[in-house]
Amino acid sequence: MSRSRTAILAALALVAGASGTALAVVPGDAGIAAVPCTVDYKVQNDWGTGFTASVTVTNNSAAKSSWAVKWSYAGNQKVTNGWNAKVTQSGTAVTAANESYNGTLATGGSASFGFQGTYSGSNALPATFTLDGVTCNVDGGPTGPGPTDPGPTGPGTKVDNPYAGAKVYVNPEWSAKAAAEPGGSRISNQPTGVWLDRTAAINGVNGGMGLRDHLDAALTQKGSGELVVQLVIYNLPGRDCAALASNGELGPTEIDKYKTQYIDPIAAILADSKYAGLRIVNTIEIDSLPNLVTNTGSRPTATPQCDVMKANGNYQKGVGYALNKLGDAPNVYNYIDAGHHGWIGWDDNFAASAAIMKEAATTEGATVNDVHGFITNTANYSALKENNFTINDSVAGKSVRESKWVDWNRYVDELSFAQGFRNQLVTTGFNSGIGMLIDTSRNGWGGTARPAGPGATTSVDTYIDGGRYDRRIHIGNWCNQAGAGLGERPQAAPAAGIDAYVWIKPPGESDGSSSAIPNDEGKGFDRMCDPTYTGNPRNGNNLSGALPNAPVSGHWFSAQFQQLMQNAYPPLP
């Protein structure tokens, strides 16, 4: 059975016609522009370690005398030979250029070619194709939409990537705080996550907007187009067993309260037909499941609280219940939080974390079909892409994995980790069409401290420390980090296997208080938020690197907001 892939238009918005054919709309245009090109990519045969594929490209723009189709793989696929095109590969990037006999491509004309390849693990289909540098969409072809294709869109039909061709909801409450800051109007129109971090948040806290208020506002912002609303589902029993600053209101055994007083009311609101036209993206329970792998048992990072949660299984039960109940609505897309590379990128943590996520996704009535994807780096600071070194580099006879910073991790940045972990998740049993989100709200690391090139090659440590963008004292530091900056602006389909870069953590909201502050939100004081703290095994017994004078987690932190703008990368205008 062949499989075909509908590529996501990164620069063009997709709208569905009555027949389900994807058309491209140039942002800002009043009318519909012609689709510049279509690419139909089909896996014809797949025998587990290799495959053959056929590709047809159709040119809808000016006639061409030569052409080149390009795409990238999210996995380790390698092209071994091709026919009817010169097919070459560099890393994950593949280029198919015309042969001398088929270079002419008239307006409306098509050319077909094929190739054979090898792989291990997952043979995920490419997400995006270009023809001579122009992004194409993909014709489903005569076989009809494949298992990862969106097909006809509209209420009741999930699309492959909810961010493709859609605006994303701007939270009015966060936007007002950002705009009130000097210079904040430069980013106050950016979309951020709406955090439902306690039961009271469903109806609104202290006169603030509740879930229905946000969804009603989203309908207004939506207009006649598509719009994504980003929600954070974050209230597990015994929440954040390794981080006191973000402890929650429910005790370790209060799973029934989580189900009936928190998840069920949210599910009822999301199922309201009034909101059927919204694309609702749920980030499911940040920093929960990986804790059961890394902070339990005999590990030096273990905590008694995490041991309790591993023993009672309420993290898995809560996540499974949320996936099952929230996933019932056809316009809802669940993305499970998957930590970050500086947490589960090590061999001992990598496959084990994927396995426990599979366990959670197949309990309490949930199935892998309730999981649309995963999100990494939520509310964290890991650099998106370290350009000054790779995991394969060696200096003075030592691999970069031996440096104090990398410390035997398999990954050096979030993009490579998200793509690699996606393959592991598919291998573990999740659907091959899952997409990844990366939170880039605070991982830009710009400003004057951003290195312009690699460090000195006198030792592997000088090489890494001199070249790394991530300027934290230790990769385990997570609270209100000094020197951090805004990262890539939210955007759809920025890389192979990545559904979007998002700002789930609203910039300017504190990770935790620098000293103990009494509150009625169930949030404790974590020494990792104290700039004088000298650390613990989870951060290599280093200073915390936290900013001083921070408020309770989730509260507005003006000094941090100003720092994030100052150190933004790409820089703000």
From the list 312, 272, 307, 269, the residue with the least C-alpha distance to 291 is 307
Residues 204-262 pLDDT 10s = 998 999 999 999 999 999 999 999 999 999 999 999 998 877 788 999 999 999 999 99
Mean pLDDT of 498-512: 97
Identify the weakest region by mean pLDDT among 325-329, 449-453, 475-479: 325-329
Whether the CB-CB separation of 128 and 493 falls below 8 Å is answered with yes
Q: Is there a binding annotation on residue 83?
A: no
Residue 478, marked binder: yes
Tokens (6 digits) for 558: 């003006």
* pTM of the predicted structure, to 2 decimals: 0.75
Does the active-site annotation cover 511?
yes
Q: Among residues 40, 149, 160, 240, which one is catalytic? A: 240
What's the pLDDT band for 156 if we cut at 50, 70, 90? low
Does 368 score more than 90 pLDDT? yes
Q: Is 235 exposed, middle or buried (0-12, 13-18, 19+ CB in 10 A)?
A: buried
Q: What is the pLDDT of residue 21?
A: 26
**Residue 311, burial from CB neighbour count under 10 angstroms (0-12, 13-18, 19+):** exposed
User: Would you state the pLDDT for residue 4?
Assistant: 47
Range in 138-142, 480-484, 500-504 the model is least confident about: 138-142
User: Model confidence over 256-299: pLDDT tens digits?
Assistant: 999 999 999 999 999 999 999 999 999 999 999 999 999 999 99
Whether 160 is a known active-site residue: answer no
Annotated binding-site residue? 160: no
Average pLDDT over the chain, rounded to an integer: 88
pLDDT of residue 44: 75
Task: Please check the confidence at residue 30 and state whether its pLDDT lies above 70.
Answer: no
Statement: residue 520 has pLDDT above 90: no
Give residue 53's Cα distance to chain centre.
28
Which one of the listed residues 139, 287, 337, 499 is annotated catalytic? 287
pLDDT at position 486: 98
Higher-pLDDT residue of 158 and 213 is 213
Please check if 474 is assigned to a binding site. Answer: no
Lowest mean pLDDT among 11-20, 163-172, 548-557: 11-20
Concatenated DSSP letters of 275-311: GTTSEEEEEE-TT-TTHHHHSSTTSTT--HHHHHHHH
* pLDDT tens readout for residues 183-196: 999 999 999 999 99
Q: Which residues of 74-110 are buried (b: 16+ CB within 10 A; e: fewer)?
A: bbebebeebebbebebeebebbbebeeeeeebeeeee
Give the range among 187-196, 322-331, 400-409 with minimum mean pLDDT.
Answer: 322-331
Which stretch, 20-24, 54-58, 79-83, 350-354, has highest mean pLDDT? Answer: 350-354
What integer pLDDT is reported at residue 112 of this predicted model? 86
240 as an active site residue: the answer is yes
Confidence band, pLDDT 50/70/90 cuts, at residue 157? confident
346 among annotated binding-site residues: no
414 annotated as ligand-binding: no
Residue 146 binned pLDDT confidence (cut-offs 50, 70, 90): very low
Structure tokens at 388: 């000054």
Taking 80 as the threshold, does the pLDDT of residue 72 lie above it? yes
Torsion (CA) 319, 322, 326, 328 in degrees, nearest 10: 80
DSSP 8-state assignment for residue 388? S
* Structure-model confidence comparison of residues 29 and 35, the more confident one: 35
106 or 263: whose pLDDT is higher?
Answer: 263
State the catalytic residue, choosing from 393, 413, 499, 511.
511
Domains of the chain: 3-136 (2.60.40.290), 166-386+412-448+482-538+547-566 (3.20.20.40)
- 310 assigned to a ligand binding site: no
Residues making up the chain, counted from first to last: 573
pLDDT band at 34 (very low <50, low <70, confident <90, very high): low
Confidence of residue 125 (pLDDT cuts 50, 70, 90): confident
On whether 359 is known to bind a ligand per the annotation, the reply is: no
